Amino acid sequence: MILFNPQVKLVVYADSQSYEITGLYMDFEIKASTDKEPNKAKISVYNLSEKTRNLFSDSHQAIEFYAGYGDNTVLIFSGETSNALNEKSGTEWRTDIYAGAGLKSYETKYFSKTYAKGSDVKQIFKDMASAYGMASYIEEPLFETKLLGSVTYAGRVKDVLTKACQNHGMSWSVQRGVLEIIEDGNFLIAQPTAIVLSPSSGMIGAPSITNRSTKGGKNKKAVRIVSLLNPDITPGRLIQIDSTQTIYSGGDLYKKPKNQKRVVTNADGIYIAQRLRYYGNNYGGPFQVEIEADLK
């Protein structure tokens, strides 16, 4: 991928139509992870017309945000607005748009169904995904495919999905408009090729490596990398680190370090991206992604 001439595009769906916003200055910060909580976005657009600003007046307004280089922009966020604020300074308007991925379904959708002994586990996930109301990608559990006894799931879809995943060693999240249900702790099997991150492919500085506490209380090797924004990197995707130097920070990567000893080591290997932060702007500032990943 050629990483120059950064471009962005915002699409808003209103009044049964789609409206593309391009050619304006935009700042963005998008946080995406393999967690079930909705991915979040804050997108600031400068000098929208009054008519376009009014497109964001309704709650749960569907939006899409694309980023890339040259003529190739890729969807990196799809969701619904939670708020939009307009501020004027002199003659300049700034519109701050806040949104969550699958936010409306996360807050409002319910599910209730009883399954008999012998029911297909994947069908349960299909039914819940259908109730969630969006496209889905479901990987089959690797061990149990049939229920060993009857079970009833009732409540908000987000809660019954979480319960079903706990029962069958799966996890779920919403990524770019798709409800993904995959084996807990595994990478996205649909994308088995690791994306190589090295100084020659956009890596910025040296990775930092440490141990992270997992759900089971065990420590797992983890790494944080900063790179020029590569829209192909998503939560659950494999990345391959090819770096000449790594800074070992010690402790928990997800907590602020306190007087930790730092030594030089190497982090080369295959990792699973867990948490991403895409951030920057399209007018000469940063255009980057910060990645937190677990060793495969």
Which is more confidently placed, 212 or 60? 60
Place of tokens 């990524």: 175
Q: Are residues 83 and 168 in the same domain?
A: no
Where is mean pLDDT largest: 53-62, 262-271, 281-290?
A: 281-290
Question: pLDDT for 127-179, tens place per residue?
Answer: 999 999 989 999 876 556 889 899 999 999 999 999 999 999 899 999 999 99
Report the CATH number at residue 68: 2.30.300.10
pLDDT for the residue numbered 258 = 59
In a domain, 49, yes or no: yes
Domains identified in the chain, total number: 3
Q: Are residues 76 and 129 in the same domain?
A: no
In a domain, 230, yes or no: yes
Average pLDDT, the chain: 89
Residue-number span of the structural domain to which 98 is assigned: 6-103
User: Nearest Cα to 162, choosing from 136, 190, 145, 184?
Assistant: 184
Assign 203 a pLDDT band (cuts: 50, 70, 90).
very high
Which is more confidently placed, 145 or 276? 276
In a domain, 23, yes or no: yes
Instruction: For residues 264 and 79, give the distance between their C-alpha atoms in angstroms, rounded to a whole number.
Output: 41
Instruction: For residues 152 and 235, give the distance between their C-alpha atoms in angstroms, rounded to a whole number.
Output: 30
Instruction: For residues 10 and 232, give the distance between their C-alpha atoms in angstroms, rounded to a whole number.
Output: 18
In a domain, 74, yes or no: yes
pLDDT for the residue numbered 250 = 56
HSE-up of 148 (CA within 13 Å, CB side)? 4
Token reading at 222 = 């983890």
Q: Are residues 66 and 143 in the same domain?
A: no
Q: Are residues 232 and 270 in the same domain?
A: yes
Question: pLDDT for 253-266, tens place per residue?
Answer: 556 555 555 555 67
User: Nearest Cα to 228, choosing from 275, 274, 291, 273?
Assistant: 291
Token reading at 230 = 């590569």
Assign 16 a pLDDT band (cuts: 50, 70, 90).
confident
Which is more confidently placed, 190 or 287? 287
Which is more confidently placed, 191 or 29? 29
pLDDT for the residue numbered 243 = 79
HSE-up of 171 (CA within 13 Å, CB side)? 17
User: How would you classify the pairing of strands 246-252 and 203-213?
Assistant: parallel
Question: pLDDT for 204-238, tens place per residue?
Answer: 988 888 776 666 667 778 899 999 999 999 999 99
In a domain, 73, yes or no: yes
pLDDT for the residue numbered 211 = 72
Amino acid (1-letter code) at residue 271: Y
Q: Are residues 208 and 177 in the same domain?
A: no
Report the CATH number at residue 251: 2.40.30
Assign 294 a pLDDT band (cuts: 50, 70, 90).
very high
Q: Are residues 201 and 283 in the same domain?
A: yes
Q: Which residues contact 272 (CB under 8 A, 6 or more apart)?
A: 185, 186, 187, 236, 237, 238, 239, 293, 294, 295, 296
pLDDT for the residue numbered 224 = 92
Question: pLDDT for 77-105, tens place per residue?
Answer: 999 999 999 999 989 999 999 999 999 89
Q: Would the pLDDT of 18 be above 80?
A: yes
Q: Would the pLDDT of 1 be above 60?
A: no
Q: Are residues 30 and 81 in the same domain?
A: yes
In a domain, 220, yes or no: yes
Cα–chain-centroid distance for residue 282? 20
Helices (H), 81-238: 103-108, 121-132, 157-168
Judge contact between 97 and 84, C-beta under 8 A: yes
Q: Are residues 74 and 141 in the same domain?
A: no
In a domain, 79, yes or no: yes
Point out the domain boundary residue: 125, 148, 183.
Answer: 183
Q: Would the pLDDT of 292 be above 60?
A: yes
